[in-house]
Homo-oligomer: A and B are copies of this chain.
Amino acid sequence: MNELRPACPLCAETGGLLVARGERWRVVRVEDAPSFPAFYRLIWNGHVAEFSDLDAAQRLECMEAVTAIERALREALAPSKINLATLGNVVPHLHWHVIARFDWDSHFPNPIWGETRRQVEGGAAARLALPVEALDERVRAALAAAQSPGA
């Protein structure tokens, strides 16, 4: 279950800007989607393709970490909506997208994979309530709090 496959990009590389690293997963901020600056990915470290390849304890751990990211984004940014998705059609190595969406963003209410609806003058990152580096810190803290026994 936790084997790595050298030909898989999410086995070979971190897969984004590293924000937090757990024993079984890591969280990165996606840097190649500037229209969506508050875009994080939880990547399962072991090479599994589907969510249901995880056992019950792993699924719980995975979704509680996803929830911690979601809550950090909601508290820091008050987004119009959170989008969660695990697709993996191109890279079938389990990863969860956690994306804060805003009614002013380039695609809203379309999915980020759909058609562009508008241009965002000055760039999307500048419209967030705090710099992305500070957001990373909030996400990191939320994940740490969710993992601590007294959480």
Interface residues of A (CB under 8 A from B): 49-52, 56, 59-60, 63-64, 66-67, 70-71, 74, 80-90, 92, 101, 108-111, 113-114
A87 touching B111, Cβ below 8 Å? yes
B81 touching A84, Cβ below 8 Å? no
Closest to A83 in B: B87
A83 touching B85, Cβ below 8 Å? yes
* Total copies of the chain: 2
CB distance from A58 to the nearest CB of B (A): 11
Which residues from B are CB-within-8-Å of A82?
Answer: 50-52
Which residues from B are CB-within-8-Å of A63?
Answer: 59-60, 63
| Contact for A52 among B71, B90, B114, CB less than 8 A | B71
Contact sample, A vs B, 22 pairs, CB 8 Å cutoff: A50-B82, A51-B82, A52-B67, A52-B70, A52-B82, A59-B64, A59-B67, A63-B63, A80-B89, A81-B87, A81-B89, A83-B85, A84-B86, A84-B87, A85-B85, A85-B111, A89-B101, A89-B109, A89-B110, A110-B113, A113-B113, A113-B114
Q: How far is the CA of A80 from the CA of B114 in the complex (A)?
A: 22
